[in-house]
Chain A
């Protein structure tokens, strides 16, 4: 029956739907999965908007931007949710995004101001390990240790790119040297986060590149306190996840309302235990129990988005050079 309905929907698409306006939000896959924030956010927003909120999962952040560029002005999307600061410059240059009017008191480790993109959560990259393991305190120590790590390929994965920027932001011209030191610690490089984390859980390595918030998942969802993130003395690289409104949206008002909703408690309170990141605006109820156990880096690293593209290409060349041998 479902397929009949879909088929009918295809043929009637132009005329019928009428009354309830539809807001289409492109996001990454894990956002819309049963355990992601998608379902709760959809329910909460539809209660107040008198609209039909439709999430479309498109790979990850980079695939998201590629998709919107591919579709151009004819895109069905009204809002894109899931870009980060590594992508904002390219997104800005595409000219596809429109300014927002959202103002909020962000709880970010740095001051945020951007006319196109609204942050909805953030987190630090970190190496996750089993509690009780002896772990190094910075990249140099890691390189000298015999700890085995699994990382993601920066060319195909957001955390992979994050690590690239992390090393570059911390060490600048010495980044290549750091990578050369890490080469013999790297068990393998995976296509995406899922592969890497899966391999780590199978015991293929001592540490895996993930987020400082990953142990919270195991603690809260699985009541398993065996995972921890290793604090690194150089500071930790920041990922700020962002959403923006498309200029060609046929529901600009609804899109604005969604972005406003996004920084409200209803949305923000869902984030910590579904997306396993820090909310951009801490809700009144505070962070869920368990988050207080996470490491809190003293220093947040972030390459400004205007420089990101340039830094990225240089860092990638160093990375390839150091690891391809």
Chain B
């Protein structure tokens, strides 16, 4: 169904295409730049996420839960808001540049490939960290206990337990971040500093609205899908190593982490990451506070729309993702997992246009704006949900499947009595992410919405377009709060076992 939705949209665009001029050299330059920045962004995001996740897995401290909840925030911000927040800190007149000025140093030069990577790391480091942290949580407490008993040091724990876990988890996370960065456009352009930073998505945009060359748009979109598909296949191939088996839900304790050096490193990593994430977020909050008083009623109507869309899309996501995860876990087919990743591969512009063409043929697109947005958002968050759910689903099926079979417990009772209780934490996390993502999404609604059905991110853009930068900042803050709240509620709601 997901594949039908995505490929169908693409087909709809292709069918409306007139003969165009195919891919030119500038398109290939865009493909090269896109690939390069996506690879770099994925490597840096995941490379930094590993020590951060390790530190978070080993430490318990006041504010840890808040920090983990805030990890959801950058990912769901409207691009323009996040970019302004980042530039408040890293820009030519940002906080760091001002501080450098005190010492008579040149301002930070943020625009360029490194700026693109920095922004993508800001967006994706938190997501990668959460996904990898979950890998840590899937190592049973019993195994840490046994290793501790054997006198394993931090380095030994790493070799024995953590590295094998990472070998299994990291390729998939890399693929997800790579796929996200593949469809980046405004971030890459703005921080890239010029047309050298043209991505495939920008080329699609150009083909679509500058040249109205639908064939080229569809072609470029195919290139995106191909690249994501290739990345996904490589990831599935490389992800190796055995499962860890299951434990008895004892609370993990890390005796190895008491050593002074380990503590210093962990604290340093957490502090740096928190600064990196929290500074731009506080810039957004500071910018938004004065704007809150200026918010017109239309912003609150839009907020209500956003909440509605997010709720529907979260329900749809859970209904889609849990059965898909179980299908993968019971070994039906890896193609299910591939289909899940496709949601990331398709340019939001193309999927929106395709759906628009398809819907327009049979119904009034405006009337369907919110349901279509909810559906597309659900599909877009499917890849994340599957990354979150599949490993746990495998464990649950492996560990409890035989017992359930012997009890002749299948289908609904198995789902209700075993799967849902055992996967509650993961479902909560996936649902929280989906809700937050849907809340912040601008992709599809922009093509469908009329003024009465605008969502909050769209309203932020409209405010900015009308010189209302202050009110826009206020609306962005409202969006940030709503998204983090939705994420927090669902994520916490799902977790009952000692934050393990």
Contacts and interface: CB of A to CB of B under 8 A. Distances in A.
A195 B461 CA distance: 9
B44 interface: no
A103 interface: no
A195 B202 contact: no
Contact of A188 (B93, B185, B193, B449): B193
Interface in A50-101: 54-59, 62-63, 65-67, 69-71, 74, 76, 90
Contacts of A59: 209, 446
Nearest to B29: A324
Contact of A221 (B26, B87, B467): B467
B356 A9 contact: no
B87 A202 contact: yes
Given A69-B212, A189-B195, A201-B469, A33 B462 contact: yes
B209 A63 contact: yes
A19 B8 CA distance: 39
B461 A194 contact: yes
A188 B194 contact: yes
A116 B261 CA distance: 75
Interface string B157-190: 0000000000000000000000000000110011
A64 B308 CA distance: 27
Given A188-B190, A217-B467, A323 B195 contact: yes
Interface in A150-174: 153, 155-156
B16 A70 contact: yes
B194 A155 contact: no
B196 A324 contact: yes
A55 B450 CA distance: 7
A67 B360 CA distance: 11
A186 B194 contact: yes
B88 A32 contact: no
B357 interface: yes
Contacts of A32: 451, 462
Contacts of A238: none
Tell me which of B296, B465, B472 has the highest count of chain A C-beta atoms within 10 A of its own C-beta. Answer: B465
Interface string B97-111: 000000000000001
Contacts of B370: 3
A203 B26 contact: no
Interface string B448-486: 011101100010011111111100100000000000000
Contact of A189 (B16, B189, B206): B189
B272 to A, nearest CB: 24
B298 interface: yes
Contacts of A155: 202, 205-206, 210
Nearest to A189: B194
B233 interface: no
B347 to A, nearest CB: 13
A148 interface: yes
A17 to B, nearest CB: 12
B80 interface: yes
B353 interface: yes
B322 to A, nearest CB: 27
B255 interface: no
A186 to B, nearest CB: 6
Contacts, number: 161
B451 A35 contact: no
A13 interface: yes
A29 B461 contact: yes
Contacts of B87: 199, 202, 204
Given A13-B367, A32-B451, A155-B206, A205 B462 contact: no
Contacts of B366: 56, 76
Contacts of B462: 29-30, 32-33, 57
A181 interface: no
Interface in A175-230: 183, 186-195, 197-199, 201-205, 214, 217, 221
A202 B88 contact: yes
A187 B194 CA distance: 8
A124 interface: no
Nearest to A193: B465
A38 B451 CA distance: 10
B396 interface: no
B499 interface: no
Tell me which of B91, B191, B195, B370 has the highest count of chain A C-beta atoms within 10 A of its own C-beta. Answer: B195
Contacts of A136: none
A276 interface: yes
Contact of B189 (A29, A70, A191, A221): A191
Interface in B414-436: none
A188 B189 CA distance: 8
Nearest to B360: A71
A296 interface: no
Contacts of B360: 70-71, 74
Interface in B193-232: 193-196, 198, 202, 205-206, 208-210, 212
Given A62-B210, A70-B16, A189-B195, A10 B466 contact: no
14 contacts: A10-B364, A30-B465, A30-B466, A32-B451, A35-B466, A69-B212, A70-B356, A71-B360, A156-B206, A188-B189, A188-B191, A198-B464, A202-B84, A276-B467
The 9 closest A-B pairs by CB, nearest first: A30-B465, A203-B93, A194-B464, A35-B466, A155-B206, A33-B462, A191-B186, A10-B367, A66-B209
